[in-house]
Amino acid sequence: MSSNFRAVVVEDDHDIQYLYKLKLEREGFDVAVASNGLEGLEVIKNIRPDIVLLDLMMPIMSGPEMLAAMRAETWGSEARVIILTNISKDEAPQALRFLNVDRYIVKAHHTPAQVVNIVHEVLGSYAS
C-alpha cells in the first residue's frame, strides 16, 4: 500500500521515534524525524508534512512551544497534529486547547498499530 502521505515524528526517545517511523513507513508514509521541538520546526517547515506526531516533553523546545511557533506560521497553521505523549490529558498544558490539535494520545494506552490507525483516520486515508 502506498499512501504518499508525509509524516513527521517529533520525539526525543529514539527507540519510540524509530518504532513509529518504522510502523508508518510500512504503511507507505514518507517519514522524517526530529528529536526536539526546534529540530521539529525546521523539519516541518522544509517538508510540509500531512501529519505531525508530537511528544510534549522534550529538551531544547517542548512540544507545546513548538506547536505554538508552528501555528504562528502560515505553513504550520493548518497542519494536522496528533499529540503522542505519556502525560495524561488532565496534566497537559492548558495552551494546547487553543493550538488546534486533531487527537491527543497517551502512548501507554495505545499500541503502535492503533496509533497508525488513528493517523489514517485523521487523514481520511483508509483504503475503501
The arithmetic mean of pLDDT across residues 87-105, rounded, is 71
- Res 128 pLDDT > 50: no
pTM, whole model, 2 decimals?
0.88
pLDDT tens per residue across span 32-90 = 999 999 999 999 999 999 999 999 888 898 888 899 899 899 888 888 999 888 776 66
**CATH code at 6-123:** 3.40.50.2300
Mean pLDDT, range 5-29, rounded to an integer: 93
Asked whether the predicted pLDDT for residue 7 surpasses 70, the reply is: yes
Q: How many Cβ atoms sit within 10 Å of the Cβ of residue 81?
A: 27
**Exposed/middle/buried for 113, CB within 10 Å: 0-12, 13-18, 19+?**
exposed
CB 126, CB 34: distance < 8 Å: no
